[in-house]
Amino acid sequence: MTIFAKFLNNNTSTAVLRAASAAAVIGALSMTAPTLANAKNIQPSSADYSFTIENKYKGSATRQLTKSGNSWRYNVKARVAGVASATQNSSFSLSGTNVIPSSASTTYKIFGVGRTHNLSFAPSKKQVVSSYKGKSTTLSMAQQAFDDLSLEVQIRQDLLNGKFTGNYYMAKKDKIEKTPFKKSGSSKITVPAGTFDTVRVDRIHDDNSRSTSFWLAPSLDYLPVKVMQVNDGKKMDLELTKIR
């Protein structure tokens, strides 16, 4: 997925949502895969972020990952005060280290008016039903596809277990889209939440005017601590402010 391209080209409400889910699709490269007995799983977490769009709009976001038994839920809330707000959630289960999404919902509002996009996954039928603006579309899922948040979890799972491949699939409003990434080195960076050793991962775009980079902290189960995107000269930055 192109994390911020849509809001950079369209409106602030979409910007809020994309910024809030900045880490929706991230990845890095590892060479060895552990046995199932040594498999690792990410842990529930709660984090706060700040984001800036075009050095003009400033907002905040919270991200909370919770579990009950083998049922997981990822919730994101974001807002630009007095302008726009967005909420996003994903429900899924784990089968070994694999994420099995069941449903997802995204709602954004600008000045009180907005839209909602819902996804319902049916892995046994290899289908995803996408509902938007009163229309439902059934998408064929030849390979496992994800919503923004469950994809983030799958990639983090793969990073923890040395299984990253670089190729994942995202369920959009009207299609399932391949989403490639590459590892671009490592560095120590400082954000409001502190200083972290990070792995940098870049989304591979087919358009040279677009770039998306993620800095992921292995010490936080590869939680993103910084995200930066440029699209047609328009820039957005997101940084971790607090782990709760």
Report domain extents, the chain: 5-243
> What pLDDT score was predicted for residue 77?
94
N- to C-terminal Cα distance for the chain?
28
pTM of the model: 0.83
Confidence check: pLDDT of 2 > 60: no
Q: Is 244 exposed, middle or buried (0-12, 13-18, 19+ CB in 10 A)?
A: exposed
Interatomic CA distance for residues 150 and 91, integer angstroms:
8
Contact 157, 164 (CB under 8 A): no
Looking at residue 11, its pLDDT comes to: 46
Max Cα distance, the chain (Å): 51
* pLDDT of 10 above 90: no
For residues 1-18, average pLDDT: 43
Residues contacting 10, CB < 8 A, separation 6+: none
**Most confident region among 9-18, 28-37, 59-68, 233-242 by mean pLDDT:** 59-68
Q: Which residue from 43, 46, 86, 76 is spatially nearest to 241, judged by alpha carbons? A: 46
